[in-house]
Amino acid sequence: MALAVAVALVPVLSGCGVSTKGDFDRGKQLFAAQCSTCHALKDAGSTSTIGPDLDAAFAQARASGMDPETIAGVVKNQVENPRPAQETVGEPNPSISMPANLVEGSELDDVATYIAAVAGNPEVKGPTLPDDPGAQVFAQNNCAGCHTMEAADATGTVGPDLDKAVPQLGTDAAVRESIVDPNKQIAPGYPPNVMPDNFEQLISPNGLDDLVQFLLKYSGKGSAAASGGGGAGGSAKSAGSKKPGGSSKSGGSSKSAGSYDK
């Protein structure tokens, strides 16, 4: 997103009612599935640096009085009209240009509403993680974007619920296989070829060991298992599926991802 330019246009857009209000919870789910692999956003627990950090992009504008409706309008404009690849630094590189209309219609309203509520919002503390090295691997690889795991304050619904799936797998070898070879055993109700199959290359051997042990230790144990951990996400419960400053909305969820594990 060419957000620096977009945020500079705030005086023009402010107060113009440029966005239709969407569903916060559904927007959070869609962000995890479609946006978190490129954008950092504290509430989503995403840390990618491929695209702009959305908290950094909107923090100053929000502090200066930009209202959520205007932020949502900026987000929608950038999704519909992303920066062309030829405008990136150096040689044209389509891989670092966001595809146009990555989400559309009501789904775009939902994503824009979610980002507008949490990006750069000082009330948002982010997910709370156990004080465990595997929790950091879990966060750095955006496992929460696709999976639910209560101890990690993860609420993704794209892939299987790890609190149910990991105890069923049971062993170190089975959990490891589900990470490095996700299509070998597909969880019922989920299609193949959705979860990346290159985590063995992306995660160091020690990091993979830490992740497997973390999943075995905490999956299915609930938030109490994580108590006392001063993890990467901050304090108490994160904004999670609750809209900062208000109550949560019920959002639909769609099962669209593959293996038992991230």
User: By the 8 A CB rule, do 190 and 183 touch?
Assistant: no
For residue 85, the model assigns a pLDDT of 58
For residue 84, the model assigns a pLDDT of 67
Domains and CATH numbers, the chain: 3-118 (1.10.760.10), 126-262 (1.10.760.10)
User: By the 8 A CB rule, do 69 and 22 touch?
Assistant: no
> Hey, which residues does 148 pair with through a beta bridge?
155
For residue 227, the model assigns a pLDDT of 58
Radius of gyration of the chain (CA): 18
For residue 236, the model assigns a pLDDT of 33
Secondary structure percentages of the chain, helix, strand, coil, to 5: 45, 5, 50
**Would the pTM count as exceeding 0.75?**
no
Query: Residue 79: which of 43, 110, 41 has the closest Cα?
Result: 110
User: By the 8 A CB rule, do 79 and 3 touch?
Assistant: no
Q: What are the residues whose beta carbons fall under 8 Å from the beta carbon of 28, sequence distance 6 or more?
A: 43, 44, 114, 155, 241, 251
For residue 215, the model assigns a pLDDT of 96
Write out residues in the chain with pLDDT < 50, as ranges: 1-2, 4-18, 228-242, 246-257
For residue 51, the model assigns a pLDDT of 87
User: By the 8 A CB rule, do 254 and 156 touch?
Assistant: no
For residue 240, the model assigns a pLDDT of 39
